[in-house]
Structure 1
């Protein structure tokens, strides 16, 4: 029984454009292992898909959902031979530079858009033996880009200001205010602010903070825009005290968020919702667009 493994020289597996990505192919075997060669290939791809409701709606979208190759590399790291040691380490390395005129977008795992960089190792075996393969993802981040600028956003929520409801006639009387320390955020720093319930005729069950992804796939002829939830944090539990400043604090999740991105065929944007749920199941929501950056 033989196994392959891939280990990178950086524990966090984070690399930047222009870096040399180094690592080792680790082969473990308990008996002599003949092979026809070991190769390493690397591919960075932006994968685009459409939701079920978008398929068939816009013919122009089909050309926009083809995968976009951002980076590629291939090399033979060992010629045909036989591995006799129980553990053999074979080094590999390559320079991380974009393919052609493409940019190296940051690693991102979304629902309809994903950007991934994967190292694949292949050991070809002699006839009648199954080839051995192993995949490992490394992460790409961008050092350059926009710099976040703190700009406090104050808000006030009351029955007259609420937009995200079907009817305002059945809303309870309430007054909520607060602030976001900035909606132009550095992704490595927490999203912060505060919310204050000044009054509410109906008892409150909870106050929640939702981080949403807004993924747009398409082109000038047509596009499909999908909004989905990344995470939901309960910042107020039960019928919270009136006049008390409740802190807003959220860490942007790794992989599931990235700096705001706009390219020819797709866009990745983010929003945050402040949701107040009353005990009678009525719900109000205030939406705030975010712009994320790495700096």
Structure 2
């Protein structure tokens, strides 16, 4: 006997205003009696332990309680029997009730180094005290509705930056300290996760030759502990830029 949860979308991506749809697939060599088929949708924000050296946020594991985002349960089928062979039971559950003014906030799915915002759908076929409950769980992805965005569409915000020997906190070569260097540029600080990060960079001066330029994308995770905000950054992507020399 087996039970499987299959969502209507292979990507498993849904918006809060959309129904979470799919089917429950039960395969059994004989008919079974049950006391109801129940579907539960849960969402929560948690601290997590991944092993390795403990960071600032990770050291607070056990102090910060999980935050519940969503907890909804519904009976898909009342008590009865499921026949032998393969049985498919369709379901449809709204994450956010349509037609009502809801103040509830749905955080987008996020899996960071220390923090995760996760949504799970679980089906339980309850079979009484003498039989073990049949269960299956699948994670689905929540993306914000366009109506939830502060601006539609989000206008890009360009930030101008510069890098010199005076802005660096790590030790530099003597040639750089005496001769100096200056790099200027600008980049967009607002973009969709599906769009590229755009910008430009200009090396105005350098006392030593430059052989490569790397761009590091950092993930910054923060939690509010009392009146203090604890923040930790981790590297998620490093890209080497192509260089062209103009003489």
Pick the TM interval, shorter chain: 0.7 to 0.9
Name the SS for the 1:121 alignment partner: strand
Q: Does 2:39 correspond to 1:34?
A: no
Query: Given the alignment of the two structures, is residue 182 of structure 1 paired with residue 180 of structure 2, yes or no?
Result: no
Decide whether the 8 Å contact of 2:108 with 2:117 is kept in 1. yes
Cα deviation for residue 49 of structure 1 reads 5.1
- 1:170 paired to 2:170: no
| SS of alignment partner, residue 169 of structure 2 | coil
Q: State the secondary structure of the residue aligned to 2:162.
A: strand
Per-residue deviation at 1:211? 1.4
Aligned to 2:117: 115
Distance 2:188 2:58 in 1: 40
Deviation at 1:201, TM superposition (A): 4.5
Q: Are 2:69 and 1:70 equivalent residues in the alignment? A: yes
Which residue in the other structure is 1:213 paired with? 219
- For the residues of structure 2 that align with 1:5 and 1:205, how far apart are their CA atoms? 54
Cα distance in 2 between the residues matched to 1:212 and 1:188: 17
1:224 lines up with 2:230 in the alignment: yes
Where does residue 44 of structure 1 map in the other structure?
Answer: 43
Distance 2:232 2:85 in 1: 50
Structure 1 residues 197 and 66, CA, compared in 2 at 3 Å: closer, same or farther? same
CA distance in 1, matches of 2:239, 2:158: 21
Please say if residues 184 and 204 of structure 2, whose CA atoms lie closer than 8 Å, have aligned partners that are also in contact.
no
Tell me how far 1:192 sits from its aligned partner.
0.9
Cα distance change on mapping 1:55 and 1:68 into 2, 3 Å: closer
Aligned-partner Cα distance in 2 for 1:121–1:81: 16
The Cα shift of 1:139 comes to 1.8
More strand by share: 1
Unaligned runs of 5+ in 1: 245-295
TM superposition score normalised by structure 1: 0.66
* Aligned partners of 1:150 and 1:181 also within 8 Å: no
TM-superposed CA distance for 1:82, in Å, is 4.1
Distance 2:240 2:125 in 1: 49
Q: Kindly tell me: are residues 205 and 4 of structure 1, through their superposed partners in 2, closer, same or farther at Cα, counting changes over 3 Å?
A: farther
In the comparison of the two structures, how many residue pairs are matched? 233
> Deviation of residue 41 (structure 1)?
0.8
Inter-partner Cα distance in structure 2 for 1:112 and 1:170: 39
Question: What is the Cα-based RMSD across aligned positions, in Å?
Answer: 3.3
- 1:42 offset after TM fit, Å? 0.7
Aligned residue for 1:185, secondary structure, equals coil
Contact 1:40 1:76 in 2 (8 A): yes
> Does 2:29 align with 1:23?
no
Alignment of 1:1-295 (within 5 A): 2-29=1-28, 31-36=29-34, 37-48=36-47, 52-54=54-56, 62=63, 65-97=64-96, 102-125=104-127, 130-142=132-144, 143=146, 144-147=148-151, 148-160=154-166, 162-165=167-170, 167-168=171-172, 170=174, 172=176, 173=179, 175-236=181-242, 240-243=243-246
The structure that is helix-richer by fraction is: 2
